[in-house]
A and B are shown apart, each in its own frame.
Chain A
């Protein structure tokens, strides 16, 4: 083996524990957001960087905020604003919906805190 082989093997040996940690254990937190609107196929969004997203529904636009790995409705053209009252979603498995505007948010990840939410 050449000197380059030794260097390569050493680098792989150092990188592997990190790769394992990344791929097998680092997904306990919510790592993506699923947005359903009006029974269209869901749209997937990462939970960084901080931003707002407009989602079109039958009544108009719902505005979604993403910040610090969390998400919430910040405005929606419904009367009760139940979607806004739900507040931040931060744990995998949580979801919120604006029924009149047919928009829903679901925090998804491989190891959910909850499989579903009762309310």
Chain B
């Protein structure tokens, strides 16, 4: 009997020891401010020393791209815009040419709803600055004049390393696209380093690859108007989730909200949408599409989605009604306590 009690004691002691030594968390997490936003990196199953090194490299990449792609601080894009405004041809390096060509391609696919050359309109509204305007609206005649000039990417010709325009009102502002492309670059760097399970989140927009061990990555989608989570989705493989919302950058005049997503057709903030969430494999396309579908609004988002090859969309209109396509409905889990009308659209394909 005594032996049995002794063995039981030894067994319990072993269990106690194992209870005190939980396995090391295989998730590496890092956050830093770069690219004008908060970058959040999650890696799974990567040795901590390697994870820290790669995170630092990604931080350096984001900082370098921010300088290179900034539209209103000294750099290649500002220099390009100054030349285009004078009808002068601009010579730019291959990396920038690729950036512009990709932005132009996505703009054409969106039929101009994503328009990366309305930098003058963005500036007129005051979103061309870190400090937003307080209590003032731009002159309506100035807005009308810029809209009448109809700056569009098909005003621009790219030949080898030269960029020319026939419309001096074009000015690149890559705000609706650059973040996506930067996230794609970060994912490329991870994959080049042999990392296959990760999330790169830049200011709420993200691309996730692989999964979190035995389960998919779980993504929460924040409610655009209330604290807390509106919905969640799972990703196992490779998907980008981008949301454009009227709450990201805005100011109010006489109680009315004026946000940063300008409809190129009117020159004013697109007013029928609160937020649009899209899922697509590459982040640059998801970024441009979220902007384009926001501008398209609740009546036309499906056409814009088809034009841009987007298969998963959720749009919340200005009345709080949720619109989505059946494929999105099958992927998204709305918060069970959510009290909202959901309108299911036709399939996108």
Contact = CB atoms under 8 A, between A and B. Distances in A.
Interface of A: 1, 6, 9, 12-13, 16, 19-20, 23-24, 34, 36, 38-39, 42, 72, 79-80, 82, 85-88, 90-91, 93-95, 97, 99-100, 102, 104, 106, 108, 110, 112-119
Contacts of B338: none
Contacts of A87: 226-228
Nearest to B235: A115
A106 B2 CA distance: 52
**Interface size range of chain B in the complex:** 35 or more
A94 B220 contact: yes
Contacts of B227: 72, 85-88
A118 B219 contact: yes
27 contacts: A9-B5, A16-B16, A16-B19, A20-B19, A23-B20, A24-B19, A79-B132, A87-B226, A91-B220, A91-B229, A93-B218, A94-B220, A97-B38, A99-B38, A104-B33, A104-B38, A106-B29, A106-B40, A110-B25, A114-B229, A115-B218, A116-B40, A117-B219, A117-B221, A118-B206, A118-B221, A118-B242
A116 B25 contact: no
Contacts of A97: 38
A119 B204 contact: yes
Contact of A13 (B12, B36, B205, B229): B12
Contacts, number: 131
B48 to A, nearest CB: 14
Contacts of B217: 115-116
A118 B203 CA distance: 8
A43 to B, nearest CB: 12
A12 B9 contact: yes
Interface string B33-51: 1001110101000000000
A95 B134 CA distance: 27
Interface string B1-30: 010011011001101100110100101010
Nearest to B41: A116
Nearest to B216: A115
Contacts of B32: 36, 39
A75 to B, nearest CB: 16
